[in-house]
Amino acid sequence: MQQQSNDMRKTLTPEALLAAAVILLASGCGGSGSGSGASAVTNGRQLYVSAAAPAGGDGSSANPFNTLAAVEQAAAAGDTIVVMAVPANSAPLDGGIALKPNQKLIGQAAGTGMLAQITNRSARLNSGDAVTLAPGAEVAGLAIVKPYRGGIYGLDVPGVSIHDNDVSGHNTSCNLGFIIPTDVIPTNIPHLTVPFPVPLPNGWAGIMVDADQGSGSISIQNNTVHDAPCADGIDVRLKGSAVYQADIGGNTVFNLKQGPILNGFLSVLAIGMQTRDTSKLTATLDNNTEHDIGSNNFTPEEADSEGVFANVVNASTITAEVDNNNFYHGIGGFSANGMEMPVMGQGGTAIMHISNSSFTDVPGDVLEVLALGTDGNLQLTLDNVTASRATGGAPLEVLAGLVASTNVGDCLSVNSSGSGNAMTLTMTGSTLSNCYHNGVTFASNTASGAPPGKLISFDIENSHISANQGYGLHLLNLAPLTQLTGKVANTSFSGNRDINIGFDNQGGSAGTVELDFGGGSQNSPGGNCIVGGGKGGVSSNGYDASLKNNWWGNPAGPTAAMASAQHATLDDAPALSAAPSACQ
């Protein structure tokens, strides 16, 4: 397995080609990026290279170079390199290119059937990457086809801009890239967590930027990454003391497969982010689409595929703002997810805000927030988000469901399996529906004899949690927990096949418990619609809850079968006399 210390390393549309042409005409000189290690360059030459040119060129537009090696050697920092378009069926420029600081590598815009194509078919140069970045570099308008390793790669390259490129068929060598560390498997058995003994390697990404020191920003915009048999899409990885801002927007990632399990590949990511050590990543993901990620190329496990993946290791931090994301059709086994945010080791922080987005059609949990280490701080906000159609039913998923508390086909899983973890969910205007298991699961567990978990807190308003085959909302506490706080208002729980709302205390809570679905200590106004649960409206084992001012399907309020409690009190009076707006 390669060591991360050294290896942290749209078919083009007319609109993308036009954008590249505008860039080329407007900026014949100068570097676009800036940041730590990148000095501003205001003057630079413009050099041309073409796969159709004869040997002996001088780099002018009339007499371009005919190899990437020649133009790389001739170009200086701050120069612009123009890759001239050739017929799409022509052989691409081969060998890859390593950029110098503040250089621009721009694909020339051209007519239909013409592409600015490059590749790197061997590891002899640049480790097999088609483009190796430098600080302040810009790469735009290229068609990168079937490189030996990555399409575009950079290490410690603040100020880079990567936009309007098409990367396809990358990592033909099936090199290892992003590696997810070992962790634990959360279980539904009190005080039992099961170690997962091996890391989860991924194939090298089409576009990947790494940093292990310094600070700066990177921009990855309007690229298409697709059709690779052993590769991730777009990955950003930080370690050491690196502090970076990443803007990842307008990208489309599709048809990526997980490499063979016999070769060590256990995961595939459309968009992956990772921090280690004390590094910090602030990421904005806007208007991205991921679909058809994963594969069914071996059984019974199949692919562990992820749409958006944010992995925090030890005392590092990821803060991510995700807007207008569209994920659909994850392919694989029980651990295939639309979004996963696992925090591992000790003291990590992961904060994600998802808005105006949709995640649908995946075998595992649609959305996952996992505190797999200790003393972690995990915060997820969902604002106008749809998470639906966790299809479930894979052989190992059915088996895992007997003991596991995650990856069992939930729309949303919020799960802690370590001491001192604090997990917070805020959800507004969102829908969790038609999932194989629960709409949302909150689970907390710690190993036998370990200190308690710190916090599970949720605030859900104006949302719909319906038509799931298990619970609508299931709270499962399996070990002592210092604080449990829940507030729900103006939300519909309807048509879930098991119980609409279930509280299950199997481990004892050492501190504060406040569950307010109306009229309680969290100032919930109620207004919830709790109707049509296949096995009941609300069931509590061991937790008191306030459920005032809700609609139970009739003005008389819930029957004993609709609101049942053991070792607990459910305060459900008064009930609403008419259906609230949440029922609509």
Name the strand (E) or helix (H) holding 23: helix 14-26
Pick the closest to residue 540 from 494, 485, 474 (CA basis). 474
Say how far apart CA 167 and CA 169 lie, in whole Å: 7
Contact between 440 and 410 under an 8 Å Cβ cutoff? The reply is yes
Q: Is residue 90 part of a domain?
A: yes
Query: How many domains does the chain divide into?
Result: 1
Question: H/E element holding 73?
Answer: helix 68-74
d(CA 315, CA 446): 20
Burial of 503 (0-12, 13-18, 19+ CB in 10 A): buried
| Helix (H), strand (E), coil (C) string for 237-275 | EECCCCEEEEEEECCEEEEECCCCHHHCCCCEEEEEEEE
Is residue 106 assigned to a domain? yes
**The one-letter amino acid at 2:** Q
Structural domain span for residue 106 = 10-141
Closest by CA to 486, choosing from 496, 477, 495, 497, is 477
DSSP 333-344: STT-EEEEEEEE
The pLDDT of residue 36 is 33
In tens, the pLDDT along 229-278 reads 999 999 999 999 999 999 999 999 999 999 998 888 999 999 999 999 99
How many Cα atoms sit within 13 Å of 569 on the Cβ side?
A: 7
- Digit-by-digit pLDDT tens for the chain (584 residues) are 333 333 333 333 333 333 334 333 333 333 333 333 333 334 689 999 999 999 999 999 999 999 999 999 999 999 999 999 999 999 999 999 999 999 999 999 878 899 999 999 999 999 999 999 999 999 999 999 999 999 999 999 999 999 999 999 999 999 999 999 988 888 888 888 888 778 999 999 999 999 999 999 999 999 999 999 999 999 999 999 999 999 999 999 999 999 998 888 999 999 999 999 999 999 999 999 999 999 986 555 589 999 999 999 999 999 999 999 999 999 998 899 999 999 999 999 999 999 999 999 999 999 999 999 999 999 999 999 999 999 986 666 566 666 788 889 999 999 999 999 999 999 999 999 999 999 999 999 998 788 999 999 999 999 999 999 999 999 999 999 999 999 999 999 999 999 999 999 998 776 899 999 999 999 999 999 999 989 999 999 999 999 999 999 999 999 998 999 999 999 999 999 999 999 99
The Cα 154–Cα 207 span in angstroms is 9
Would you say 513 and 504 are in contact if contact means Cβ atoms under 8 Å apart?
A: no
Quick one: how far is CA 135 from the chain centroid? 26
Q: Quick check: is 322 in a domain? A: no
CA distance 340 to 180: 12
Domain assignment present for residue 239? The answer is no
Cα–Cα dist 70/55, whole Å:
10
16 belongs to a structural domain: yes
Q: What is the pTM of this model?
A: 0.91
Cα distance between residue 530 and residue 472, in whole Å: 10
Neighbour tally for 531: CB within 10 Å: 20
DSSP state for residue 361 in the 8-state scheme: E
Task: Dig out the tokens for 14 from the structure.
Answer: 């007319």
In whole angstroms, what separates CA 84 from the centre of its chain? 35
Whether residue 343 is contained in a domain is answered as no
* Alpha-carbon 63 to chain mean position: 45
Structure-token pair, residue 557: 């309020």
Residue 393 resides in a domain:
no
**CA angle (500, 505, 507) in 5-degree steps:** 150
pLDDT tens digit string along 550-580?
999 999 999 998 999 999 999 999 999 999 9
Is residue 157 one of the residues assigned to a domain? no
CA neighbor of 181 nearest in space, from 210, 202, 156: 202
